[in-house]
Chain A
């Protein structure tokens, strides 16, 4: 598809039957058109990149401003300084930030892992087996994914206080499953429906044991889907703010997005802008890394899980 745009003029030129001056002219035009298309695409790409990365660059620039420099009215810091990073990594806010970071990582990873394991089994059943209620499972997971989280917060807040789950890791992991499970089920079902399960039979015909057939023929095909689903689910858990801010009260379980809202400046009169910016950049690093490394898989996962069959 990508070549199509560039190929069209060339094709038109090639349609001329004999190698005349006209055709040479045509080739030249084609080459020029191709170069113009390439330049056009790069211009478009740069525009898109600026739009998509500008807010990240903005908060990155802010994170290098010293407190007195914040009001300089410029995008860039006057003299870049790492004072904000020192503040949250080794300074006074260290306790607040690093604990929150640990909570965020732990809770998101556990919620993702549980969701992916359960969703793998569930999606396998939906894609592969015939059982009554298949549709119900998919419909319920769709309903859950449409559900307004805030509607769960009030009852959970009350229940968790009674059950002793308020302000604990499990107290967040359980509601996080309502975020990570539905998307995992949908994405994995879509992935699994594309797997040619006949391969497994073929492997058995060739003499593999059932377990071998599954391991050698199916697992390599299924793993990328499971992995991609895990990334998407992790993004969603990592992003949570509503549960994080409502179901925690101390550093015991408060994840980073919620903790950012509780940052205070080094002194009462100092704004926490720099420290928040630095913390925001640190929690954005894993996102950017995952996106850079697995762009293809994430796009495939989101598009197949969403609309393609």
Chain B
């Protein structure tokens, strides 16, 4: 809040966009391309930071300060229930985590959920993107509206909806599936890990496929239609057009979509908290961190798990950007 007022004087000088106006020749593009005088450049830089500064400072403060705090806390044996016993123990919290089967199991479940949901969502999302892209006028608005519903809905609501559908107390899915071999009214989906994870992943996939499909839609829109048409004229069938023309041309968008969704899936928390609360081997890293810090008030250990989770996410992003060359800046905003 306090950052807003500091900004007020800078809001008014919308005019210091002035430099452009002064230096832009009629018909020319923006003034800054014209190597403005250093005085102007300095004024522009100053204004730029006045405008961008508050948002930047808040982001840094909200993220980097707590992270530094978490790294620091993770080096202590520190329970809120016994604050007096706070003691520096170096990396021993990390040793505790990395030698604990619970951590590795949570990491495995997290990775499993990430891989399966991202894979399914990529295919489903692409189909939805195609439908949104190609839809005829009369259905286009409708199809886009319904796809946005899961996007906007609260994850917890999605989790409850899927939970109640399958739950043995209030569900009806067993009834619907009872004609299939292996399904009966007695099946309690939330009494073992495998079936619980199936429902959890259904909820996640339902809720987040629209996001990935919108990213892919943006990619599709960038593939020039004439390319596809030319290929069609040359006798390519739809599969050839898709695999040789459309997909290669939207590779950047696909990579960005996968990266964003993978990072998002890796932090999965809400659905699991609601459905199983980590029971029957459905514990994931986020939930483990939550239960250690907030549930058991073991700040030191919880911080260490938070740091490990953060490092995992950073590693995924790093690998994606360096190894797979996901060009976030190029595909996001930086085009112009």
Contact = CB atoms under 8 A, between A and B. Distances in A.
26 contacts: A2-B140, A4-B225, A5-B136, A55-B150, A55-B161, A70-B170, A125-B52, A129-B32, A146-B313, A146-B317, A149-B267, A151-B289, A151-B306, A151-B309, A152-B306, A154-B73, A201-B24, A210-B14, A241-B273, A273-B169, A284-B157, A287-B154, A291-B149, A295-B148, A305-B332, A305-B333
A170 interface: yes
A309 to B, nearest CB: 2
Given A41-B136, A45-B142, A154-B302, A147 B310 contact: yes
Contacts of B210: 52
Given A45-B142, A53-B146, A139-B329, 15 more contacts: A49-B143, A121-B51, A121-B52, A122-B56, A128-B20, A131-B44, A142-B332, A144-B59, A154-B306, A159-B69, A177-B58, A273-B170, A287-B154, A307-B219, A309-B335
Grouping DSSP codes into helix (H, G, I), strand (E, B) and loop, the B interface class, with mixed when no group exceeds half, is helix
Contact of B51 (A3, A4, A124, A280): A124
A131 B49 contact: yes
A267 B132 CA distance: 47
B172 interface: yes
A197 B73 contact: no
B145 A157 contact: no
Given A59-B160, A277-B164, A308-B221, A174 B55 contact: no
Interface in B209-243: 210-211, 214-215, 217-219, 221-222, 225
Interface in A249-295: 256-257, 260-261, 271, 273, 276-277, 280, 283-284, 287-288, 290-292, 295
A215 B307 CA distance: 47
Contact of B267 (A150, A170, A198, A306): A150
A306 B55 CA distance: 19
A273 B33 CA distance: 62
A49 B293 contact: no
B137 to A, nearest CB: 5
Given A140-B56, A150-B286, A59 B335 contact: no
Contacts of B134: 1-2, 4-5
Nearest to B70: A155
A189 interface: yes
B286 A38 contact: no
B63 A178 contact: yes
A104 to B, nearest CB: 9
Most B CB contacts (10 A, CB to CB) among A158, A287, A288 go to A158
Interface in A167-201: 170, 173-175, 177-178, 181-182, 185-186, 189-190, 193, 197-198, 200-201
A226 to B, nearest CB: 14
B55 A119 contact: yes
Contact of A153 (B17, B73, B133, B306): B306
Query: Could you say which interface size class chain A belongs to?
Result: 35 or more
B156 interface: yes
A299 B214 contact: yes
Contacts of B169: 70-71, 271, 273
A58 B63 CA distance: 38
Contact of B55 (A6, A70, A121, A292): A121
Contact of A3 (B60, B137, B221): B137
A76 to B, nearest CB: 9
Interface in A51-74: 51-53, 55-56, 58-59, 62, 65, 70-74
B126 interface: no
A81 interface: no
A132 interface: yes
B161 to A, nearest CB: 4
Contacts of B66: 152, 155-156, 159
Interface in A37-52: 37-38, 41-42, 44-45, 48-49, 51-52
A6 B135 CA distance: 11
Nearest to B130: A44
B131 interface: yes
Counting chain B residues whose Cβ lies within 8 A of the other chain, the interface size class is 35 or more
B4 interface: yes
Given A119-B55, A150-B267, A299 B148 contact: yes
Interface in A69-128: 70-75, 114, 117-119, 121-122, 124-126, 128
A141 B54 CA distance: 13
Contacts of B84: none
A129 B143 contact: no
A230 to B, nearest CB: 13
B154 A257 contact: yes
A5 B153 CA distance: 32
Given A2-B136, A154-B70, A186-B332, A45 B143 contact: yes
Contacts of B273: 241, 245, 261
A154 B55 contact: no
B334 interface: yes
Interface string A193-219: 100011011001100001100100000
B197 interface: no
Contacts of A4: 134, 225
Contacts of A133: 48-49, 52
B175 interface: yes
A155 B161 contact: no
Given A3-B136, A155-B66, A291 B11 contact: no
